[in-house]
Amino acid sequence: MSLRIGSIAPNFTIETTTGTIDFHQWAKGSWTFFFSHPADYTPVCTTEMGRTAQLAPEFAKRNVKPLGLSTDTVDEHLGWIKDVNETQNTVLEFPIVADKDKKVAELYDMIHPDEDDNAAIRSVYIIDPDLKIRLTMTYPMTVGRNFAEILRVIDALQTTDKHEVACPADWEPGKSVIIRPSVSDEEAKVKFPQGWETLRSYLRLTDLDK
């Protein structure tokens, strides 16, 4: 199954470290940061789980629910969480999917045989409150994720949903955004009364904070 941006995220019901969840029921109405790991008790994964837990307030203020996945059991996850908390100086409270049979990993195309026949790679899915996949990232098993970028793209998606804008290269909250070409100058006068800078007819920059 090919999962593409704009597709509805596939549903599943499975055991997690916080109980059984029906994914669609659990996720609907919130943004979801769904991310996979090769295995429990592995070094890079431990730092990533810890960083996600440390950033809980940042995810919460963006209405984002983190959901981890590893192809081990709930009991193994719970033991590993103790290590995560101790080594990363945090308290991990978000659920981790116990995908021992790799059903969810296969459903979300998290197994890449040329990287590893059995383990899930470091996949990221950002899923919106309507359960649509809005962004995907895929990291090799040896490279940890950049959490500043994960928060940045969530901010960008939420900004472009709220306003008829696009975010330029290296955009961060507070920086100028692009008025979409589909918005005429007359429409822009109403939508963006703060004004804008025209670099080209198709490239108009505005500041949302003004």
Distances (CA, A) of 180 to 170, 203, 204: 17, 8, 8
Rg (CA), the chain: 19
Count of Cβ atoms closer than 10 Å to residue 21 Cβ: 17
| DSSP symbol at 4 | -
| Beta-sheet strand order (sheet of 165-166) | 165-166, 177-179, 203-206, 197-200
Q: Does the annotation count 45 as an active-site position?
A: yes
Alpha-carbon distance of 188 to 136, in angstroms, equals 31
Determine the Cα angle at 100 with ends 105 and 113, to 5°. Answer: 45
Distances (CA, A) of 44 to 22, 51, 77, 185, 208: 28, 11, 15, 49, 37
Q: Among 14, 27, 45, 84, which one carries the catalytic annotation? A: 45
Q: Are 16 and 123 in contact (CB under 8 A)?
A: no
Q: Which residues are identified as catalytic? A: 45
